[in-house]
Amino acid sequence: MKKVLNEFKEFAVKGNMIDLAVGMIVGAAFTSLVKAFVDDLVMPILSIFTGKLDFSNMFIPLAGQTTKVYAEAVEQGAVFAYGAFITALISFVINALVVFLFVKEVNKLRKPKEEAPAPATTKICPYCKSEIPIDATRCPHCTSKLQGFIEAVTEEAKG
């Protein structure tokens, strides 16, 4: 049991648990922000384009209620609140879009800039196909003279 407690202590102190806690707190705050954004800004604008529909009051009474107000209908009995689901769905889509855009920008910052390829320091001997230093005039493997080959490679690299 002591070993398990020590492993848990090491896990918690390493930062994994602290990172998770911070993520949960920021996530909760972000959720309330998006909920307010959807409920107070998006849904009223959306209701203008949908003929002033109020999604929060869209429900099907299941206990014979006659009221058109969701809160009153809930007090009177069971309701099938599909308007609340539509609001939650819009909130989810906005959350997913914001997270996608955030992760996309973070990934741009994380990507290292592509560096120009380093100049070649070796070449292949045309006779024995061994890798040799770029400025060699004779192959150390097959002892072939490479003087004419060096000029051709140099011209090819320039062009």
Please list the pLDDT of the chain residue by residue as tens digits (159 residues): 888 888 877 777 776 777 788 888 988 888 888 778 877 887 778 778 877 777 777 888 888 888 888 888 888 888 888 888 888 888 788 878 877 888 888 888 877 777 777 888 888 888 888 898 888 888 888 888 877 654 555 555 554
Provide the residue range defining the domain that includes 78: 2-110
117 lies in some domain: no
Q: Which residues contact 55 (CB under 8 A, 6 or more apart)?
A: 43, 46, 47, 83, 84, 86, 87
Q: What is the pLDDT of residue 148?
A: 61
Number of H helices, E strands in the chain: 6, 4
pTM metric for this prediction? 0.48
Please tell me whether residues 53 and 95 are part of one structural domain.
Answer: yes
The CA R_g of the chain, rounded to the nearest whole Å, is 34
Based on the structure, what is the number of domains in the chain?
2
